[in-house]
Chain A
């Protein structure tokens, strides 16, 4: 299972049941990564990302339990710890900003190896950083 998350500078993901931020450039990156693949997401994510095309898109409240090997999961608010053994790769989009937060990424990234990192400008964010982590072998 490949997980996609968006994070602020303090690993924050949500505040008051709402995503911290959004950017069309990130949506386009996700679209590109998921092209031809299976993308799982929650009903909340469906409102923003449900119109992505060129992939098999499945919306389910229990999507992290249901996703299989190689599937991509867009995670905005769910805890990942219960599924840690299933996760093969983590793709992070960093806003490079601090926002209010009450939901945080619960993965200890020091246990993962960063394989790729690059920056790109967003439509409303000056700089977004994409990082790809894989399980340490």
Chain B
């Protein structure tokens, strides 16, 4: 009886200790899905856009917990919220996370606030890009809806890409890890982010190589954006609404690797190849749409690129 009592006591104690450890683990260690962190920048704290694609925050010093400064690579993406919006994307970027193959299509993902809209004054015409929060060149995340937001061409290419390039080249050169966090900042229930807070910190050399904390503006010079919906118009100063063409029916998909080999997804018409048949399909051809979901899909940026890869054009 005494033995049974002792056994029960031990079991209760065991369970209690286990519960305490679990709670501790969830609260204070990496067992939790997303790390406890200082709050990201608030809308009120963001300086007004003044012609530069990004602005320093907190003296350019990021805020990463000490326990994450390890040589172990990881990546975490927040679930979409009830409005279908992305949250924090966080990674410890190491060489082992980086891509080993060309990026595929991301055209199927429609991030919150997405509109296909063109303006002549925008480089590449299309106002919005599907912007990776953590660039493909860093963690090889392709069409992950938790990692893609509606971002202007300007934010993507002039704002976010330079930081991705800097981190990618550092990791490739040094073989070190870089803690990297991209936090989209939404105002209230807006579907389009005001911008993205980007933080980076090189682990092995304690920030000697990489250290930044910036806010990148989701703006496009010359274009007015309604962040609640993603609607836009040319901001010509006349207030006449500009000449944006909304929901252009044709090229709703596309991804193009820019000259930096990075995340300059722009809305160009992609060419869809079938790696099994070695036939490629152009927009408007019979099998073009169904190829989007094919396991044999290979995306080219031009017909010439497809032909140089040994593909021939579909007959219909």
Contacts and interface: CB of A to CB of B under 8 A. Distances in A.
A126 to B, nearest CB: 7
Interface residues on A, range: 20 to 34
Contacts of B261: 126
B165 interface: yes
Interface in A59-108: 95, 97-101
B212 A97 contact: no
Interface string B191-222: 00000000000000000111110100000000
B162 A98 contact: yes
Nearest to A126: B261
Interface stretch (B43-51, B117-125, B169-177): B169-177
Contacts of B288: none
Contacts of A53: none
B214 A100 contact: yes
Contacts of A124: 169, 172-173
B91 to A, nearest CB: 18
Contacts of B173: 21-24, 123-124
Nearest to B261: A126
Nearest to A95: B169
A23 B174 CA distance: 9
B162 A100 contact: yes
A18 interface: yes
Interface string B50-76: 000010100010000000000000000
Interface string B133-167: 00000000000000000000000000001110110
Contact of B209 (A8, A18, A23): A18
Contacts of B165: 97-99
B260 interface: yes
Contact of B260 (A20, A97, A101): A97
Nearest to B258: A98
| Residue in B60, B169, B170, B209 with the greatest tally of chain A CB atoms within 10 Å | B169
A86 to B, nearest CB: 31
Contacts of B210: 18
